[in-house]
Amino acid sequence: MVDSGNALTIASSQKELTFHAIWLRDNSQDPETRSPTNGQRLISLSDIPENISINSASIENNTLKVTFSPEEKTIFYELDWLEKNSYENFKPTQKGWLSSIYKTWDSNLEVIPLEDFNDLQKNKRTLNDWIGGVLKFGFGKITNGPVQSGALFEIVDLFGYVRETNYGRHFEVRTEVNPSNLAYTGLGLQAHTDNPYRDPVPTLQILYCLENSAEGGENMVVDGFSAIQKLKDENLEFFNVLSDYCAKFEYSGEKGVKLSTRKPIIELAPDGELIGIRFNNRSLSAVTDVPFGKMQTWYAAYRRLAEIIDDQRMQVTFKLEPGESFIVDNTRVLHARKGYSGKGSRWLQGCYADKDSLKSIFYSSEDAQT
């Protein structure tokens, strides 16, 4: 017991762990506090006395028994659960730290998460391994899918739901005579994240190839987190200015549509974790929310980040055959298309989805395996 019952320390298998009384009480697993069926909390914080403290505590058979006062309530905690949920060693290191679930990469990436469409549909384990790879690297490829309009929805059906936008449930990517959006022409596109003007931004994009006989038109991906780490290593001031101040992104290419959002190019969580990149030169609006004295530095930083992204050493390139598709984490991995010629045809369909359902599949099946 420490701090007059406000906390307690237990000796777990590896180390000593300390928990606050209020944390333990709020995280009680008894059926009056947590629903035994769905695990949801049944009480609110105001149901816990403000002066909650630990009256007594003991350990028996890998279970911690705690009696709280003034409630005189006794709660049991599995030591394994406490070990798994210990928080005293959480120390955010420095701005820009990355969760250990990610593995950053550049053009030297040897193995990309690639799987056969039919195997993904038939085999849950294969699907889970592939999703694990997509979460780790921020992108993945699927081969051998049906060469059929709308087949991209079958990719989304593997894990979640389409995120519909004003572009529709899906969008077509092919040459048009009067393009309202540069994605529909034969020009090459700089690597970018999609739709940074949306709030929230679509967190996954799927691009599905139906025809690709035109010359060129390869797809290319860049790990935005890797590019940001490189920028930070080179020039901390550049990293700071792009994460401290908001850019502005806009799209109003159609009648009745005016999408606008104010977000930084490099997005950090309040504890400094690197959680996102927004990079799209076509939809960057007039940036007005950078202090006057920092604007030149902001532009120098943005230019340098663009150079890093455009560097071939950061890029992984592949050509999609009809029936092949790829998925990107649109908060992390930038995608691009090389220019293609008018000969032959190139037809892709794209749609958006969200990462929460992808993660849900992965983590729920991980639980199922343990």
Draw the binding track, 19-48, toward Fe ion (x: CB under 5 A; -: no contact). Answer: ------------------------------
Q: How many residues bind Fe ion (CB under 5 A)?
A: 1
Beta-ladder partners of 352: 163, 205
Stretch that binds Fe ion, among 27-35, 85-93, 157-165, 187-195 (CB under 5 A): 187-195
- Cβ of residue 192: shortest distance to Fe ion, in angstroms? 6
Neighbours of 346 (CB within 10 A): 22
- Closest to Fe ion by CB, 5 vs 186, is 186
- Closest to Fe ion by CB, 194 vs 329, is 194
Burial of 54 (0-12, 13-18, 19+ CB in 10 A): buried
Strand intervals (E) in the chain: 7-11, 16-20, 53-60, 63-69, 73-78, 114-116, 139-143, 162-163, 171-173, 189-192, 204-212, 219-223, 247-251, 259-263, 266-268, 274-277, 315-318, 325-329, 333-337, 346-353
Contact 206, 350 (CB under 8 A): yes
CA distances from 263 to 58, 165, 197, 353 (A): 49, 19, 9, 20
- Closest to Fe ion by CB, 205 vs 243, is 205
Stretch that binds Fe ion, among 99-107, 193-201, 212-220, 361-369 (CB under 5 A): 193-201
Neighbours of 72 (CB within 10 A): 8
One DSSP character per residue, 81-117 reads HHHHT--TT----STTB--TT-----TT-----EEEH
Which residues in 95-154 contact Fe ion (CB under 5 A)? none
Which residues in 86-105 contact Fe ion (CB under 5 A)? none
Q: Integer distance in angstroms from the first to the last C-alpha of the chain?
A: 32
Handedness of CA 85, 87, 91, 97 (dihedral sign): positive
- Cβ of residue 195: shortest distance to Fe ion, in angstroms? 8
User: Is beta strand 162-163 parallel, antiparallel or unpaired with respect to 333-337?
Assistant: unpaired
Draw the binding track, 67-86, toward Fe ion (x: CB under 5 A; -: no contact). Answer: --------------------
Which residue minimizes CB distance to Fe ion? 194
Q: Which residue in 193, 191, 183, 196 sits closest to 220, CA to CA? A: 191
- Cβ of residue 330: shortest distance to Fe ion, in angstroms? 9
What backbone torsions phi and psi does residue 228 show, to the nearest 5 degrees?
-65, -40
- Cβ of residue 336: shortest distance to Fe ion, in angstroms? 8
d(CA 321, CA 230): 32
- Cβ of residue 347: shortest distance to Fe ion, in angstroms? 15
Q: Is 329 in the site for Fe ion (CB under 5 A)?
A: no
Q: Is 194 in the site for Fe ion (CB under 5 A)?
A: yes
Q: Six-digit token pair at 354?
A: 């969200």
Stretch that binds Fe ion, among 143-151, 190-198, 316-324, 326-334 (CB under 5 A): 190-198
Question: Which residues, including other chains, have CB under 8 Å from residue 32's CB and lie 6 or more apart?
Answer: 42, 43
- Closest to Fe ion by CB, 115 vs 194, is 194
- Cβ of residue 167: shortest distance to Fe ion, in angstroms? 11
Stretch that binds Fe ion, among 191-199, 259-267, 288-296, 326-334 (CB under 5 A): 191-199
- Cβ of residue 184: shortest distance to Fe ion, in angstroms? 11
Using omega within 30 degrees of 0 as the cis cutoff, is the peptide bond preceding 179 cis?
no
- Cβ of residue 91: shortest distance to Fe ion, in angstroms? 37
- Cβ of residue 193: shortest distance to Fe ion, in angstroms? 8
Stretch that binds Fe ion, among 86-94, 192-200, 253-261, 270-278 (CB under 5 A): 192-200
Stretch that binds Fe ion, among 22-30, 52-60, 189-197, 351-359 (CB under 5 A): 189-197
- Closest to Fe ion by CB, 239 vs 352, is 352
Stretch that binds Fe ion, among 96-104, 125-133, 186-194, 251-259 (CB under 5 A): 186-194
* Interacting residues with Fe ion (CB under 5 A): 194
